């Protein structure tokens, strides 16, 4: 598998734009996160235990990274684990924004975008197994891992200004500790996993959680693939990935079948796995290395989706022709990739 992927040199640009740089004065930057519009980013500085905020400015010669400010260390007694520039939208218009801080003791701090003024803080989870999750739409924060329930909070803005953080009714239904959870890319659904109950999917479109109407469970299926370290959903919502130590399994969200497994990617455990925004690539980090794989499973899942849509009674002639063209194109890519795999 790795041999086949190493042949995809054509995916890399032949001319690289000079990189934008910023010297953090020997303070290790633990992670970086872009804002949704790509015009700014934040980085966690280990020694200062804070967030450095940058503006990404495009110049004729490339890009410039302008340092805006460093946020306050809101919790000196705990290590900062995650930070994100979070933006909410309503009907395509920005309705609110805040800086999200997540600490090692599962305390969540919300601040203004410059990180100077604290808006709210709360403990989202507990214990060594506790985990915290921010929805892609930046409206919901979840805490789980220490019990069979998934706790939720809504970050509420009114007229563009922060109003409150509301504790929501918990999502229940699992019979043992919830070990994993992930939002669908559009925040419309949540998939969660526990040892006793397997996978459950809650539909956020079916209810107004913020107004005490709890999202309902719409699907449940067993975990037949073993212990899972983390889960991710592709941006096109077709594929569920299961990270298992140094391997990744790709599951079709429609058919719940194993599409592909990449074994022994590293000698040690995988630290992180992320899809590219177009779902075509998967980046995997671990063992002091980053590897990028072509998402063959996504092509197969997309082909399955097209075939299912072709069978729909609502498929008119125009849509049918478009699906057939897409299916033909996807099948050609699959055949080419499989040929490389067997080479």
* Model pLDDT for residues 267-286, shown as the tens digit of each residue: 899 988 888 888 888 888 88
Compute the average pLDDT of residues 313-340. 63
Q: What is the pLDDT of residues 193-219, one digit of tens each?
A: 999 999 999 999 888 998 999 999 999
By the 10 Å C-beta count (0-12 exposed, 13-18 middle, 19+ buried), 11 is classed as: exposed
Helix, coil or strand: residue 125 = coil
Helices (H), strands (E): how many in the chain?
Answer: 3, 23
Give the per-residue pLDDT at 341. 46
Higher pLDDT, 46 or 25: 46
Contact 111, 72 (CB under 8 A): yes
- Using CA atoms, how far apart are residues 197 and 221, in angstroms rounded to an integer? 8
- Residues 6 or more apart whose CB falls under 8 angstroms from that of 78 comprise 103, 104, 105, 107
Q: How confident is the model at residue 112 (pLDDT cuts 50, 70, 90)?
A: very high
Compute the average pLDDT of residues 251-258. 89
Q: How confident is the model at residue 292 (pLDDT cuts 50, 70, 90)?
A: confident
Compute the average pLDDT of residues 12-37. 71
Across the chain, mean pLDDT equals 85
- Using CA atoms, how far apart are residues 44 and 84, in angstroms rounded to an integer? 10
Tokens found for residue 44 = 């966690």
DSSP conformation letters of 153-205:
EEEEEETTEEEEEEE-PPB---SS-EEEEEE-TTSSEEEEEETTTEEEEEEST
- Please determine, for residue 73, whether its predicted confidence score (pLDDT) is greater than 90: yes
Q: How confident is the model at residue 2 (pLDDT cuts 50, 70, 90)?
A: very low
Name the strand (E) or helix (H) holding 260.
strand 258-262
Q: Give the residues across from 194 on adjacent strands.
A: 178, 198
- Residues 6 or more apart whose CB falls under 8 angstroms from that of 247 comprise 261, 262, 263, 264, 265, 270
Q: How confident is the model at residue 338 (pLDDT cuts 50, 70, 90)?
A: low
């Amino acid at each position: 598998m790795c041999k086949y992927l190493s042949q995809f040199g054509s995916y890399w640009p032949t001319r690289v734009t000079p990189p934008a740089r910023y010297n953090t004065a020997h303070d290790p930057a633990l992670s970086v996160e872009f804002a949704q519009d790509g015009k700014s980013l934040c980085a966690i500085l280990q020694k200062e235990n804070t967030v450095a905020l940058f503006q990404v400015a495009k110049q004729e010669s490339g890009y410039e990274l302008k340092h805006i400010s460093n946020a306050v260390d809101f919790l000196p007694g705990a290590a900062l684990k995650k930070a994100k520039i979070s933006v909410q939208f309503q009907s395509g218009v920005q309705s609110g924004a805040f800086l999200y801080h997540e600490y090692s003791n599962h305390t969540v701090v919300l601040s203004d975008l410059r990180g100077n003024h604290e808006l709210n803080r709360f403990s989202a989870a507990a214990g060594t197994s506790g985990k915290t999750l921010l929805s892609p739409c930046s409206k919901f924060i979840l805490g789980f891992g220490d019990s069979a329930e998934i706790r939720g909070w809504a970050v509420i803005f009114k007229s563009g200004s922060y109003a409150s953080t509301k504790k929501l009714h918990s999502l229940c239904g699992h019979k043992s500790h919830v070990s994993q959870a992930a939002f669908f890319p559009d925040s419309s659904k949540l998939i969660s996993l526990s040892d006793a109950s397997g996978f459950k999917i809650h539909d956020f479109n079916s209810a107004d959680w913020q107004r005490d109407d709890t999202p309902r469970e719409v699907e449940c299926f067993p975990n037949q693939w073993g212990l899972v370290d983390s889960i991710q959903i592709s941006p096109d919502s077709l594929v569920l990935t299961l990270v298992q130590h140094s391997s990744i399994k790709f599951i079709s969200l429609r058919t719940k079948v194993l599409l592909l497994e990449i074994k022994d990617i590293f000698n040690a455990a995988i630290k992180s796995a992320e899809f590219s925004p177009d779902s075509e690539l998967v980046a995997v980090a671990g063992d002091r290395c980053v590897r990028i794989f072509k998402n063959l499973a996504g092509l197969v899942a997309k082909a399955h989706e097209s075939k299912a849509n072709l069978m729909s009674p609502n498929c008119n002639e125009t849509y049918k022709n478009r699906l057939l063209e897409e299916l033909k194109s996807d099948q050609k890519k699959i055949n080419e990739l499989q040929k490389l795999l067997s080479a």
